[in-house]
A and B are shown apart, each in its own frame.
Chain A
Amino acid sequence: MTTIIEPTVFTEDPFTEAAIADPYPFLERLREAGPVSYLEATGTYAIVGYKEVYEVLMDFETYVSSGGLGPRDIREDDAWRPPSILESDPPIHTVMRRALTGVINPGTVRALREPFTLPAVEIVSELAKLDSFDVVTQLAEKYPIRVFPDAVGLPEEGREHLLPYGNMVFNAFGPENYIYQQAFANGDEHSAVVMKLCARESLDDVGFGSKIWDRVKDGLITEEQAALLVRALLSAGVDTTIFGIGNTLSVLARYPEAWQRLRENPTMAKFAIDEALRVESPFQKFHRTVATDTVLGNVHIPAGSKILVFVGAANRDPQKWGDDAAEFSLDRSSSGHVAFGMGLHQCVGQPIARLEMEIVLQEMLEKFETLELDGAPSPLIHNVLRGFDSIPVKVTPSR
């Protein structure tokens, strides 16, 4: 029999600038409060243990998504937008997911390698003329925005709204604090433009967008759902990958011996990316809603509660990854990390994100003999994503 324990009440707010700018000391203190604790500031439960996070992600009947990924139950309040695939449960989720996986899968993504390579070569070749540059503004923010909208089949016009829109969507997974307010400045305009981009007539005939719309003809999904699925790609597919690229390079800039090993053996790039996603997970945390009274990590959680799932903490849980969990290691098998989620809602865009990151890293490894930090990276203040505004680096070009 498990003994039910009272959760430790943790008084620090996870959504303050200090906890966001330097999340890991904060997460260590939170971990000391146990794998499941109660967050006084937000009235939610914090889940930080790998085992507990995994259980939440697998048990989508007890820990539902239809209450939204933010701290409020979107079924009770007026949500700021119609719910997405991410904010739905079966059976609504089921048809949407079928439509999306039918369109985005390893087969369809493989065809993107060629069109995704040239822009990376161009961007990195320009950087190779410099001794120092900013990984974020001169590379990470440039690359996905060049290749991903093409893959979806978007027109040129309106693309500039994608980044601010993604910023809104993800910040809304946190509380309505000043970070949220800033993200939502001009929100109506960004939403309106992006919604228009999702319409069938805005999309070309070859991209993922039109393939999703084809499923309306089959009768699998409604027109409204098709537009929502295209919107899901546009909101979930840009920022995350930008941070994925930036975070990976920020880690590698701190591990020169790993850079050397990767240059000698560039096929290891994908392992390096996977391990970097584990230690610096771009999507750090999101909420679930508890559908029925439950016990998690010996803590009783009543129905209707919101829980805050710290995937970024699970990915550094020493019980799962060992005492050096916080260290990047090329020799570690990072298989099982939850940076892309797990189970029912596991990231659909995973093969695209991995492809983009791998192409960029391969190109960087080829062009640069060394890559080092040239000053401290400046963390981005964001409610749930982990990334940087700026990562200054010094490089030596390959001879």
Chain B
Amino acid sequence: MEVQVTVNGQSHSADCEPRTLLVHFIREQLGLTGTNIGCDTSSCGACTVHIDGESVKSCTMFAAQARGADITTIEGLAADDGTLHPMQQAFMECHGLQCGYCTPGMVMAATSLLSENPSPTETEVREGLEGNLCRCTGYHNIVKSVLAAAGGES
């Protein structure tokens, strides 16, 4: 079946099976492999993207359910000239990533968190990212990154 979506401002149309998960569609049909897959139980958040402005785990829905949607993936976050998004910059400055595998999902979840709550407390950051797992950082520097991006302490 044909699925049309707008991803990072560009319209894409591709053929897929009705059962194709959105994350596989984004990665394999559209070739945007920044969005990662870390589990098969919707537990890890590595696949987090924004759909119509909301953060969504893209392994929890079929591509077909996203028809016509406006999707932002990690590839769409930096400016066209390559300038990192403030959240990406904060992750870099606060060493909020090591292997980088959870990072795209973490950054997408974090930007969505700040759009809902621009100045969260440390606890609110932790709670807001509860659905995103990282095995490398112990979260300390991820939380620090999000707080820094929010303009708090760095």
* Same complex origin of A and B: no
List residues of chain A with CB under 8 Å of any chain B CB: none
